[in-house]
Amino acid sequence: MEVQDRVAVVTGAASGIGRATAVALARAGARAVVLADWNDTGETEARVTEAGGEAFPQRTDVSDLASLRALFAAVADRYGALHILHNNAGIGEGADLWPDVPPERCGRIVDVNLRGVVLGTQLAVEPMRRSGGGVVVHTSSGGGLIPVPQQAVYAATKAGVIHFTKSCVPMHASHGVRVCCVCPGLVETPMVLETGAGRVADWLRPMYEAVELLQPEDIANAVLDIIRDDSLVGEAVSVGNRAK
């Protein structure tokens, strides 16, 4: 699918990969980029506008069904179409290591990282079908492909995203909706610093120092490649780090 003149929704758009993808979509000629995040998206909105796109900020909690329904209703009311969804919002354990993570935080990780992806995809399918088809790209993680004992809940949700992606393959034939996911390695985003409460956690530092960090724009470019490649259905596309 070409990006030109399409309506796109990006969750977790306030920073990091979400911000980079929103800006990349605007530069590629998207008709509108809907910025869905619980946090302030003002900086992303400014960058999308600077890139020549129309930004439509929507305060959204992807873990809350009512909030997601309000998001897609707002998109339908304003644009009457939906072509692209980047399910990018995600959180990790932070500085607490498994199994010492508070249960409340564990539940929140599952709700944001997995429940939000499942419900967001489900709510997007019918609007995309009515728009002539669409593409959904989830942000999974390299941590969804291998065990991460220090962040077991995060890794489990990202593995779930990969399996969910593969289980959505039949929707391409039934609804004209392609679903794929991108699995980034170590990316220089605010989440990396959250592993150590404002710094890189000790357990992550050896890897952090051994590889060249990916930039959010690297992942945004991969997302756009997936959107444009109509042959990709149910794929988990890895974007890995290079060793220093």
Sequence-ordered list of residues with C-beta below 8 angstroms from that of 35, at least 6 positions apart, any chain: 10, 13, 14, 22, 41, 44, 45, 48, 55, 56, 57, 58
* Amino acid in position 178: R
154 is catalytic: yes
**What pLDDT score was predicted for residue 126?**
98
Q: Which residue is catalytic, options 56, 72, 79, 154?
A: 154
| pTM for the whole structure | 0.97
Q: Which of 94, 117, 108, 90 is nearest to 184 (CA)?
A: 90
Contact criterion met (CB below 8 Å) for 94 and 153: no
Quickly count: other Cβ atoms within 10 Å of residue 30's Cβ. 27
Sequence-ordered list of residues with C-beta below 8 angstroms from that of 216, at least 6 positions apart, any chain: 16, 17, 19, 20, 21, 187, 188, 189
User: Using CB atoms within 10 A of its CB, is residue 19 exposed (0-12), middle (13-18) or buried (19+)?
Assistant: buried
Q: Which of 185, 108, 105 is nearest to 144 (CA)?
A: 185
| Per-residue pLDDT tens listing for the chain (244 residues) | 999 999 999 999 999 999 999 999 999 999 999 999 999 999 999 999 999 999 999 999 999 999 999 999 999 999 999 999 999 999 999 999 999 999 999 999 999 999 999 999 999 999 999 999 999 999 999 999 999 999 999 999 999 999 999 999 999 999 999 999 999 999 999 999 999 889 999 999 999 899 999 999 999 999 999 999 999 999 999 999 999 9
**What pLDDT score was predicted for residue 185?**
97
Three-state DSSP class for residue 52: coil
For 7-238, CATH gives 3.40.50.720
**What pLDDT score was predicted for residue 213?**
96
What ranges make up the beta strands (E) of 84-240?
84-87, 134-139, 177-184, 211-212, 236-239
